Structure 1
Amino acid sequence: MTEPWPDQSPSGGSEGWEELSRTTVYAAYGRSVVEARYRLPSGEQATFSLREDRPSVAVLAFTTAGEILVTRQFRPGPGQFLFELPGGYVDANETPLNAAERELLEETGYGGDIEVVGHCFADAYSSSMKFCAIGRACAPRSRPDPEGTEFIEVLSVRPQLLRELLRAGNFTDVDLAYMGLDALGLL
């Protein structure tokens, strides 16, 4: 890994950036869009549209047979079926670990030894944090119990097929899947 540039702060920060205002322009379903106005290091001012969502979690879950659980469901944003890792939002007063266990059970009916192994931001224009969990020795525990708007197909795939799905471009949790594979030493 290369060293940070001299003017970079490895811990983050806002050196030279001053937030001047923040206005919520849309809020519903735990999501909001805000417009944030900043004074830039150059002295200029700029407004950015930012997305703020609740934190989320996805689980790279290995079954007792060594396969990985993936879900397939229609997603209205792109208007097509996408593959995903089981997961969802972290509810208020819930830890990412508890959310990972709950979401895995709700969406797939599986449970196992779950561990949160990392996190990242959703994107550069979002304050939302995405957590990666891995699951070992996952086995059926109950019938899936998805939310009323979720129509989920649960699949189990070999690690090589997961890598092919990740490269194909119709998988939503690519960053978290690779984070989980890396945590397990499978890259």
Structure 2
Amino acid sequence: MQKTLHSWKNLSLVEETLTLPNGVVANHTSINHPGAVVILAKTPTGKLLLLNQYRPSLKTWLLEIPAGTLENNEDPFTAAKRELEEETGYSAKKWQSLGKLTPMAGFCNEIQYLYFAEDLQLTQRLQADTDEVIEVLEVSIDELLQWIQQDKISDAKTIAAVSKALLSGTLS
């Protein structure tokens, strides 16, 4: 049995009774999330796009790569193309999947789909949501890695996408 405790935008807080793999029956409360996309984008000059974005939940600015929530039944690749253009004003000709993340599995079913985008073209079709305050930066790979080491970048999806790109040889 599942009971919705609260809904907001396309998220919902649900409580349900589950039978765990060990046979124990437990009540569990979690957030239903439609999923998200995360884009590590490389400019023709070899720089990476980074957003300096104000995050009201933390009441501070975060350095992070472009990302966004999937709309209802939206294909992740379609969402990645949309989010890159909305948040940075760039489109990309070349895309590669970097895999998936499960960022908050203890209390949320969100899956984040990671992409590497290159061959960027400036379209200037910035359409950030009204509650988004974003500054687009271009940084070198070395600078981005240094900022991660210095804790200037603490955003988990950014660190994971960069790590996956480095480990796969996509980013060097």
Same fold at TM > 0.5: yes
Structure 1 letter corresponding to 2:111: M
Which residue does 2:103 correspond to in 1? 122
Task: Give 3-state SS (helix, strand or coil) of 2:161's partner.
Answer: helix
State the TM-score, normalized to the length of structure 2: 0.86
Which string of whole-angstrom CA distances, capped at 9 and with x for unpartnered residues, describes residues 66-91 of structure 1? 01001011111211101111120122
Task: Give 3-state SS (helix, strand or coil) of 1:133's partner.
Answer: strand
How far apart are the structure 1 equivalents of 2:164 and 2:16?
30
Which residue does 1:149 correspond to in 2? 131
Asked if the contact 1:122–1:129 (Cα under 8 Å) also holds between the matched residues in 2, the reply is: yes
In structure 2, the CA distance between the partners of 1:152 and 1:22, relative to structure 1 (3 Å rule), is same
Structure 2 letter corresponding to 1:25: L
Which residue does 1:165 correspond to in 2? 147
Alignment of 1:77-92 (within 5 A): 77-92=57-72
> Which stretch shows the higher mean deviation, 151-160 or 115-124?
115-124
In structure 2, the CA distance between the partners of 1:40 and 1:90, relative to structure 1 (3 Å rule), is closer
State the structure with bigger RCO (CA 8 A, min sep 6), 1 or 2.
2
User: How many aligned residue pairs are there?
Assistant: 167
Which residue does 1:7 correspond to in 2? none
TM-fit CA distance, 1:94: 2.7
TM-fit CA distance, 1:154: 0.3
Structure 2 letter corresponding to 1:179: K
Asked if the contact 1:97–1:115 (Cα under 8 Å) also holds between the matched residues in 2, the reply is: no
Alignment of 1:56-67 (within 5 A): 56-67=36-47
Which residue does 2:35 correspond to in 1? 55
TM-fit CA distance, 1:143: 4.2
Query: Where in structure 1 do 4 or more consecutive aligned residues deviate above 6 Å?
Result: none
Which of residues 159, 162, 167 is equivalent to 1:182? 167
In structure 2, the CA distance between the partners of 1:129 and 1:45, relative to structure 1 (3 Å rule), is same
How far apart are the structure 1 equivalents of 2:80 and 2:169?
17
Asked if the contact 1:134–1:180 (Cα under 8 Å) also holds between the matched residues in 2, the reply is: yes
Which residue does 2:89 correspond to in 1? 109
Asked if the contact 2:84–2:90 (Cα under 8 Å) also holds between the matched residues in 1, the reply is: yes
Which of residues 1, 6, 12 is equivalent to 1:32? 12
State the TM-score, normalized to the length of structure 1: 0.79
How far apart are the structure 1 equivalents of 2:21 and 2:118?
47
Which string of whole-angstrom CA distances, capped at 9 and with x for unpartnered residues, describes residues 6-60 of structure 1? xxxxxxxxxxxxxxx3221111111111122223455443222211111100110
Percent identity between matched residues is 28
How far apart are the structure 1 equivalents of 2:108 and 2:73?
21
Structure showing greater radius of gyration is: 1
Structure 1 letter corresponding to 2:34: R
TM-fit CA distance, 1:105: 0.8
Q: Which sections of structure 2, spanning at least 5 residues, go unmatched?
A: none
Q: Which sections of structure 1, spanning at least 5 residues, go unmatched?
A: 1-20
Which residue does 1:68 correspond to in 2? 48
Task: Give 3-state SS (helix, strand or coil) of 1:63's partner.
Answer: coil
